[in-house]
Structure 1
Amino acid sequence: MLPGVAESADNSTRSEARGIARPAVDEWLTAHVDGATAPFDYTLIAAGGSNLTFRVTDAAGHQWALRRPPDGHTLPTAHDMHREYRLMSALAGSAVPVPTCVAYCDDNSVTGAQFYVMSFVDGHILRDRASCAGMTAADADVATDSLVDVQVALHTIDVDAVGLGDLAKRDDYVGRQLKRWRDQVERANIRDLPLMVELHERMTRAKPREVAPPALAHGDYRFDNTIMNDDYKIIAVLDWELCTIGNPVADFAWSMLYWTDPGATMFVLSDPPTLEPIFSRSDEVIRRYKERSGFDLSDLPYYRVFSWWKQACIVEGAYARRLAGATGGMTSSGNVHDIATRVDRMLEHAHELARGVL
């Protein structure tokens, strides 16, 4: 999570720089990144529960971002660094703003895994309500418009024209996703999740016909995976780990999990910025996306169920990694079994939403 980010001091940790093997990484940067001068300082950006992202500062004060998989246990098909690098490279100069890709290391011997380097994009990240301090209702509306407009741009980009036509299959996105996430949970083999299995089977039987054309589906698009300028317009979209070719309506439904309205009983984020009264409510965001994309959203209730189920599967993967000793970008404080409780609550919420839908 969070490639190319800017962060405040209280969101980063220096010292250990786990996942960075010195002096090998220093030597690689000096040889492959133009203008990079040793020694380097590595600051782990302590956000997210998956890939590790570091702010790299050289002797002259130049900054880049370095991204690599978590150190320790990982699940098959996860943490594909080259996929992220390819996606951002392909989108450079498009209507979807991304950090500039600088260099890629495919030699695992350097630091135990492949990694890449990109530009460090400075700006605002709306992670929580505190990050909205000083924003007006007009600012929030600009940010909302930008969030919707960039997602519509992503969902309508010509994948063949940008060289991503072979990124994935173009049909049965939900079927592929249902299989992928159930398989990952079952490979981890941490515990029995009968509700996960039940919902998987019901969603498989009730899959709606895909009416929107296949598109780039980011897989985790939301405010805190974007960077905004001082006008609250998006200047970089981050975290391309889950991106594929898929159903844009399902991808939009996933994004709406993170748009929490006041009074909601189930949150993904612990302190979502959209709880601030300056932001529009979720039905207005849906209206804007529908109007600007032109897509039929009549199956959105199904995709909400699917999204909460998928969220539970992903968090179960984070639980498996924590039990195995890997933390990704998360701090390791707190009771690891609280993660399992979150998974259970997400599955129960999906089950409730499924009434009358599946």
Structure 2
Amino acid sequence: MSNHDIDTKRLGDYLQDYIPGLGDDLQAEKFAGGQSNPTFKLTSGDQHFVLRRKPKGELLKSAHAVDREFRVISALAGTDVPVPHAYVLCEDDAVIGSMFYVMEYKEGRILWDPTLPEIETPQERASIYDSMNATLAALHNVNVEAVGLSDYGRPGNYFERQVSRWSKQYRASEIDTIPDMETLMKYLVNNMPPDDGSVSLVHGDYRLDNMMFAHDKPEVIALLDWELSTLGNPIADLANQCMAWMLPSEGSMRGLSDVDRVALGIPSNEEYIAKYCERTGRTEIQNWNFYLIFSLFRLAAIVQGIRKRAQIGTASSAEADARGDLVYPLAAMGVSLIP
């Protein structure tokens, strides 16, 4: 077990006021993987918690917003969206060197591969995807005013703001000129669909491995990693998930493009979208191709950020350099979808 430069004595002293019964034997173990906010399992006796912190060092503006994660998890307590209990947000860098929050540790399964090779039957795979669909619908059906999140995002066209944001983030982490990224930024600005007025809480990175499933049944018990959450158009989450499934089944970003989904019990994108629309009261989704292209561009911009952090030495995973190279095929896939 490694404390990864966390002063557990100082941290334990700080947490005494927020976690009843916490012992003086606190230990911290970093979870493997993850590129953005380093995440640790905290242990004290038979008690377990999770700590998420900002990385140390030079950071891109508005990235690593653990304070926003804490706020949204706290607000969703008691809704139909499964989230861990949030204990405390610490904005004092003096405690462990950067802002962090502590939340409940959930016992469950993280499923990394969308083909679900560890699941034995097509029926259970179908149920896992249905639970994932139901959780997404529950998120988008949350009354943001009722849970105190009406100011969680800015008003105005969500996709205009998102294209502007991720273009700026990409420029801030740009290492070399990538023609396909230039093409995507131009296309997205020039083909922006009209704002349809849809506003909901948007997760921002809704995918299989950002949720935890129960050990004994195909049910989502915790939706995790809220760093990119905001108020906006809910179709962004749906497109982000369906976009990820367009990727090949091999590689560091595994998809479903080259597998037999029927045989595996995994719904087609069309079936998944139809079920989502049924649960959220939608009749159709217009401009779907634009949303897919935007999702690929955004993911490429995020990956470019990982690539930049690897270059300057602040990436939290040893895989960051290799994953950063995915910006090229992601941007090319986005360009291939332009009519």
TM score, norm. by length of structure 2: 0.91
What is the DSSP-based 3-state SS (H/G/I as helix, E as strand, rest coil) of the residue aligned with 2:84? coil
CA contact (8 A) 2:4 2:29 kept: no
Give the whole-Å Cα distance in 2 for the aligned partners of 1:202 and 1:169.
24
Give the whole-Å Cα distance in 2 for the aligned partners of 1:311 and 1:95.
28
* Aligned twin of 1:321: 309
Displacement of 1:352:
0.4
* Aligned twin of 2:243: 257
The change in CA–CA distance for 1:302 and 1:333 in structure 2 (over 3 A counts) is closer
* Aligned twin of 1:7: none
Displacement of 1:196:
1.7
* Aligned twin of 1:281: 268
Match of residue 102, structure 1, among 87, 99, 102: 87
* Aligned twin of 1:300: 288
Give the whole-Å Cα distance in 2 for the aligned partners of 1:267 and 1:196.
23
**Ranges of 4+ aligned residues in structure 1 off by more than 3 Å:** 129-132, 264-276
Matches within 5 A, 1:161-310: 161-211=146-196, 213-229=198-214, 230-260=216-246, 265=248, 269-272=252-255, 275=259, 277-295=264-282, 296-310=284-298
Displacement of 1:273:
8.0
CA contact (8 A) 2:116 2:125 kept: no
Give the whole-Å Cα distance in 1 for the aligned partners of 2:117 and 2:179.
40
Give the whole-Å Cα distance in 1 for the aligned partners of 2:221 and 2:46.
22
* Aligned twin of 1:135: 120
CA contact (8 A) 1:132 1:273 kept: no
Give the whole-Å Cα distance in 2 for the aligned partners of 1:212 and 1:232.
34
CA contact (8 A) 1:45 1:55 kept: yes
CA contact (8 A) 2:249 2:255 kept: no
Question: Which residues of structure 1 form unaligned runs of 5+?
Answer: 1-13
Displacement of 1:217:
0.9
Displacement of 1:340:
4.2
Give the whole-Å Cα distance in 2 for the aligned partners of 1:268 and 1:156.
34
The change in CA–CA distance for 1:169 and 1:270 in structure 2 (over 3 A counts) is closer
Equivalent position amino acid for 1:228 in 2:
F
Report 1 or 2 for greater relative contact order, CA contacts < 8 Å, sequence distance ≥ 6.
1
CA contact (8 A) 2:248 2:255 kept: no
Q: Is residue 352 from structure 1 mapped to residue 336 from structure 2 by the alignment? A: yes
What is the DSSP-based 3-state SS (H/G/I as helix, E as strand, rest coil) of the residue aligned with 2:23? coil
Give the whole-Å Cα distance in 2 for the aligned partners of 1:301 and 1:273.
18
* Aligned twin of 2:326: 342
CA contact (8 A) 1:257 1:268 kept: no
* Aligned twin of 2:100: 115
Q: Deviations over 1:66-119 (max 9, x none)?
A: 110123332110111111101000000101110000122121111111111100
Q: Deviations over 1:251-308 (max 9, x none)?
A: 2101112335xxx548785445895723223222122112222333121111000100
What is the DSSP-based 3-state SS (H/G/I as helix, E as strand, rest coil) of the residue aligned with 2:107? coil
Count of aligned positions: 333
Question: Which residues of structure 2 form unaligned runs of 5+?
Answer: none
CA contact (8 A) 2:137 2:279 kept: yes
Matches within 5 A, 1:57-96: 57-58=43-44, 60-96=45-81
Give the whole-Å Cα distance in 1 for the aligned partners of 2:188 and 2:140.
23
TM score, norm. by length of structure 1: 0.87
Match of residue 41, structure 1, among 27, 50, 54: 27
Give the whole-Å Cα distance in 1 for the aligned partners of 2:329 and 2:148.
40
Give the whole-Å Cα distance in 1 for the aligned partners of 2:204 and 2:190.
23
Q: Which moved more, 1:278-287 or 1:264-273?
A: 264-273
Equivalent position amino acid for 1:94 in 2:
T
Displacement of 1:20:
1.5
Displacement of 1:19:
4.8
The change in CA–CA distance for 1:173 and 1:54 in structure 2 (over 3 A counts) is same
